[in-house]
Amino acid sequence: MPPMVEALPPLMVALPLVAATALAAVGRVVPRAVTDATSMLTCLLVLAGSVMLLVATGSQRVVSWLGGYSPPPGPNGHRTSVGVVFVVDRIGAGLATLVAVLVAAALTYTWRYFDEVESYFHTLILLFLAAMVGFALTGDLFNAFVFFELMGAVAYVLTGYKIEEAKPLQGALNFAVINSLGAYCSLLGIGLIYGRTGELGFAQVQRALAAHSPDWLVLMAAALVFTGFLVKGAAVPFHFWLADAHAVAPSPVCVLFSGVMVELGIYGVVRTWSAALSPALPAERLRPVLMVAGVATAVVGAVMCVAQSHLKRLLAFSTVGHVGLFLVALGALEPAAVGGLAIYVLGHAAVKGALFLCTGILLNTRGSVEETELHGRGRDMPITRVCFLVGGLALAALPPFGTWLGKTLAEDGLSHAGFEWASVLFVGVSALTGGAVLRVGMRVFLDVGSPPDTRGEAQGSEVQRSEAQGSEEQPEIDRHVARAPLTMLVPVVALLLGGLALGLVPGLAAHAQHAAHELLDPGGYAAAALDGQPTITSSVAAVTSWSRSGVLLGVLSALLALLVAVLGGYPDRLPRPVRRIAGALALPLRALRTAHSGQLGDYVIWLLVGVTLLTIGLATS
């Protein structure tokens, strides 16, 4: 491996940290153009490095030991080291690339934002970039925790960025407390693993656990470590903070939250399991836990998404629903399904990022993100209108978007693994979340649907009102903006085009399946990190991207999404049988909405319930 490539992982973390430090020191005295240029240049350099890593990992893992602390041979061939290591495969490099792309989109969108606080926003974004890239590339359990918590600390501040308002501080407080409790659980689990193995590196922990029979202490440690990741990943019942944070965070920050931060939580689960804990936690024990959590998360997220009128909360619950699908695909623990998941994550990030930026355009040009207040007010916004409606169809997995390709490959992988029922769940969640977005698009941009007062009378408070914080949100730009500037529109269009291109790239499905095989190969990971054998040798069956069943299911989910949008837009015209069904569902929906109370104490209790259920699941499955 060329020394330059080996030096890339630590440089990609160090560069944004240095740039953030410099901006924090001199940002108050340099022109705003310098701040913007420095931030964007740093991000583009990280993007270039991540692309180089993505190319380099096509044939071997990239292993980088800091300070020359590579592990020397020990007794009986056992290698160990106290050094800090980065072990990069295609999934890790791909996530780093995704992070850099979304940060570049967010920085472009905010080119003229936040003048009143100088360079603080850019400093925080660069710290966020360093933390997310470091987490995606690290090969050490404790350093993963450090990067994850740096990511969390910056995210808390970004959520409460508008410090002069009460609701952002409330959302940031809920976010910080719940995620900090999850972090404490992870730290305790890491301590237990270290006490059992005397190691912190993923590969070292893996080999130490392989030499001992599994025990209850390791299972408890695994449950605690996974808790922190699943809290950040917004899996039910750890998800309550997500909508509250999205409702009040700046729109470009929501792009990073939903587009990659949440997904990194899911990545943390599979990386930690495969690279470190798999000898003590067989796939047969982990699979049902992921499946149950995924189904619960998908259903709760999709139902709550349809029940929102606050656009940011609607998109946030859509993320929860799709996280459930991610967990179900991951639960197969098979390369075919996980390869589809990798593409699904990329497609979802692009589409969801574009939708959040469209919502930010509405907020800053129309002064609201409430569906009822925006009814018909977006008719003179042609570019935003097209992007929002296309984004809704893409979220519903319409071919040939990347969301469709990833969903199709994941469904096929799950079906071959014996989980044929998963297709019904994938189609249903895609239809509900995409339909909710299309309903908003129809009402806001096309002036279609019942007037707000009629709709409120028909649907009542169960479906129409957003009860938690986030309503009456103020624009993110101090000055009035009648039309969205080009810097706000370009990243929206670029993200949607990227989401479309993912479904058309030749050979992407095969590359994703190879990457998933590497991710699920603990022996190869340890051999690369400790034995200097980074070459990847994997034989994966040929992958068919386009299939008749896949296209039909994609079209079906898009058509169902349109049906959901029409029914949601004209609730006063629903047939009597449909109204009866809606009435029967009112009570469970009311209970579900009540659980999302916005009260910190309630969320802490749910977190404790989740830890208990996760521990029981790993112990008894």
Three-state SS sequence of 382-429 = HHHHHHHHHHHHHHCCCCCCHHHHHHHHHHHHHHHCCCCCHHHHHHHH
User: Band of the pLDDT at 601, cuts 50, 70, 90?
Assistant: confident
- The pLDDT score that the predictor gives to residue 474 is 62
- What is the largest distance, in Å, between two alpha-carbon atoms of the chain? 77
Amino acid residing at 257:
F
For residue 621, is pLDDT > 80?
no
Provide, rounded to the nearest whole percent, the portion of the chain with pLDDT above 90: 61
DSSP, residue by residue, 438-496:
HHHHHHHHS--SS-HHHHHHHH-HHHH---SBTBSPPPSSSS--SS--HHHHHHHHHHH
Query: In angstroms, rounded to a whole number, what is the distance separating the alpha carbons of residues 304 and 593?
Result: 8
Helices (H) and strands (E) in the chain, counts: 26, 2
- The pLDDT score that the predictor gives to residue 463 is 41
The predicted model gives 577-585 an average pLDDT of 74
- The pLDDT score that the predictor gives to residue 542 is 60
Encoded tokens for 495: 């993200």
User: Band of the pLDDT at 128, cuts 50, 70, 90?
Assistant: very high
The predicted model gives 111-140 an average pLDDT of 85
Helix (H, G, I), strand (E, B) or coil at 139: coil
User: Band of the pLDDT at 12, cuts 50, 70, 90?
Assistant: very high
State the pTM of this model: 0.92
Query: Is residue 171 exposed (0-12), middle (13-18) or buried (19+ Cβ within 10 Å)?
Result: buried
- Residues 612, 615, 616, 621: what is their CA dihedral angle, to the nearest 10 degrees? 150
Query: In angstroms, rounded to a whole number, what is the distance separating the alpha carbons of residues 551 and 534?
Result: 38
The predicted model gives 66-90 an average pLDDT of 72
For residue 456, is pLDDT > 50?
no
Residues 234-274 have pLDDT tens digits of 999 999 999 988 888 888 999 999 999 999 999 999 999 99
- The pLDDT score that the predictor gives to residue 438 is 96
Q: Tell me the backbone φ, ψ of residue 370, rounded to 5 degrees.
A: -90, 125
For residue 336, is pLDDT > 70?
yes
User: Band of the pLDDT at 590, cuts 50, 70, 90?
Assistant: confident
CA 372 from chain centre, in angstroms, equals 28
For residue 573, is pLDDT > 80?
no
CA-closest candidate to residue 42, choices 115, 107, 131 = 107
For residue 539, is pLDDT > 60?
no
User: Band of the pLDDT at 457, cuts 50, 70, 90?
Assistant: very low
| Average model confidence (pLDDT) across the chain | 87
Under 8 Å between Cβ of 435 and 595: no
- The pLDDT score that the predictor gives to residue 59 is 81
- The residues spanned by each domain of the chain are 1-138, 172-240+264-280+575-621, 293-461+485-517+544-574
Residues 300-311 have pLDDT tens digits of 999 999 999 999
Q: Pick the residue with more confidence: 424 or 575?
A: 424
User: Band of the pLDDT at 468, cuts 50, 70, 90?
Assistant: very low
Let me know the angle formed at the C-alpha of 538 by 535 and 541, rounded to the nearest 5 degrees.
Answer: 155
- The pLDDT score that the predictor gives to residue 544 is 66
Weakest mean pLDDT among 222-231, 440-449, 492-501: 440-449
Q: Pick the residue with more confidence: 131 or 575?
A: 131
Query: In angstroms, rounded to a whole number, what is the distance separating the alpha carbons of residues 397 and 347?
Result: 9
User: Cα dist. 486→23, 179, 243, 496, 501 in Å?
Assistant: 26, 36, 29, 16, 22
Q: Pick the residue with more confidence: 542 or 275?
A: 275
Neighbours of 6 (CB within 10 A): 16
- The pLDDT score that the predictor gives to residue 118 is 65
The predicted model gives 448-457 an average pLDDT of 61
User: Band of the pLDDT at 459, cuts 50, 70, 90?
Assistant: very low
Weakest mean pLDDT among 63-77, 136-150, 306-320: 63-77
Residues 410-423 have pLDDT tens digits of 999 999 999 999 99
**For residue 370, what are the β-bridge partners?**
310
Query: In angstroms, rounded to a whole number, what is the distance separating the alpha carbons of residues 130 and 172?
Result: 21
H or E element in which residue 86 lies: strand 85-88
Whether residue 237 has a cis bond before it, omega within 30° of 0: yes
The predicted model gives 118-137 an average pLDDT of 92
The predicted model gives 25-35 an average pLDDT of 86
For residue 293, is pLDDT > 90?
yes
